[in-house]
Amino acid sequence: MQAIKLLIIDAVKLYWDLLKAMIPVMILVRIAVEFGALNYLAEAFAPLMELVGLPGATGLVLATGMLVNNYGAAAALVGILPYTDLTVAQLTVLLSMVLVAHALPIEQVISRKAGLSLKFSVTLRFTFAIVYGWILNVIYSWGDWLQAPATITWLPDSGGEDTTWADWAISSATSLFWLFWIILGLVTLLKIMEVLKVTDFLARLLSPLLGLMGISKAATSITMVGALLGLAFGGGLIIKEARAGHLSPRDIVLSLSFMALCHSLIEDPLFMIALGGDVTGVLIGRFIFAIIVMIGISRIILALPEATFNRWLYRPSSK
């Protein structure tokens, strides 16, 4: 019973953090719809989103994810979905991009403290997100895959543009109610994986791939922690090891770069799948593409002269 109690407490804490991120965004999106601002925002984002085969309104989801986090992006998605027709492929493209480029103000501070140049890391994540979104769109369109209309099964029908504020409030409250049970399920699954040491197994299984990216054995375990559990975990360990002098500057940059592109491979993809994303985009394709990109980037980073490397990529760990 104590284990179940602790599990529920963890879920409630995570859910509370989620609510603090989601509710303000949901209200702002509703206001944007009410006053017609969503159309103007869609026009502003249209040129960028057209590159990846998405309607302009989805730019609001990507921008919110970049500035807030995945939960903020989820709130924006819930807000625009009744007014924006998306296929499963388009939704997968959008959520996959958010997984790469989310919470930039917070997560990039962690990377900066650990030693990675802020300009480089932000540019890397944003560019990767756009290029990966474009590739996914080309693949899904070419194969005519995942072209069914996207739906979030647990999301109630909001009624569209004619919905009153009262109906919207009821619909939103219902959505958030069901979201709690999804969060509880995710927390339970992660705890089971922790008890069964699935994360440790995956870390050992995937760690040989890091050698292809030029990451030494000294940084392997830390990098896999970040890749599987999140940039905050991995970045925190990098900061500790960097200050202790256990990692070379190039290991720090390579490790953080990979974590920037591909982190929290367990929790975040599961959440995006609950939002309607397909596993081929939010997990499998993102992991494979991140490895391919990092193999190429690592060759450049390892060949850079020391002065160039220190000027553009590396900043010593902040005390």
- One DSSP character per residue, 200-221 reads HHHHHHHTHHHHHTT--HHHHH
- pLDDT at site 162: 58
- pLDDT at site 140: 98
In a domain, 6, yes or no: no
**Apex 260 CA angle, 268 and 285, nearest 5:** 60
**What is the distance between the terminal CA atoms of the chain, rounded to a whole angstrom?**
43
Contact 59, 93 (CB under 8 A): no
In a domain, 199, yes or no: yes
- pLDDT at site 154: 67
Range of the domain at 59: 11-312
pLDDT in tens, 163-207: 677 777 887 788 888 888 888 888 888 788 878 888 788 878 878
In a domain, 234, yes or no: yes
Q: Please give the structure tokens belonging to residue 160.
A: 């569209």
Residues of the chain with pLDDT under 50: none
**Residue 198 burial by CB count (10 A; 0-12/13-18/19+): exposed, middle or buried?**
middle
In a domain, 319, yes or no: no
In a domain, 2, yes or no: no
In a domain, 134, yes or no: yes
Write phi, then psi, for 87 (nearest 5 degrees).
Answer: -90, 170
Tell me the C-alpha distance between 121 and 111, whole Å.
8
Q: Tell me which long-range contacts 152-158 makes (C-beta under 8 A, separation of at least 24).
A: 152/78, 152/81, 152/275, 152/276, 154/178, 154/179, 154/182, 154/274, 155/78, 155/81, 157/82, 158/82
- pLDDT at site 149: 94
Tell me the C-alpha distance between 193 and 196, whole Å.
5
- pLDDT at site 213: 92
Write phi, then psi, for 59 (nearest 5 degrees).
Answer: -60, -30
- pLDDT at site 105: 86
CB neighbourhood size of 79 (10 A) = 28
Tell me the C-alpha distance between 57 and 37, whole Å.
10
- pLDDT at site 163: 67
- Number of domains within the chain: 1
- pLDDT at site 19: 83
- pLDDT at site 30: 81
- How far out from the chain centre does Cα 41 lie? 22
Half-sphere exposure of 99 (CA within 13 A, CB side): 34
In a domain, 5, yes or no: no
- What is the value of pTM for the model shown? 0.90
Q: Please give the structure tokens belonging to residue 69.
A: 């986090």
Residues in the chain: 319
Q: Where are the beta strands (DSSP E) in 35-88?
A: none
In a domain, 64, yes or no: yes
- pLDDT at site 33: 74
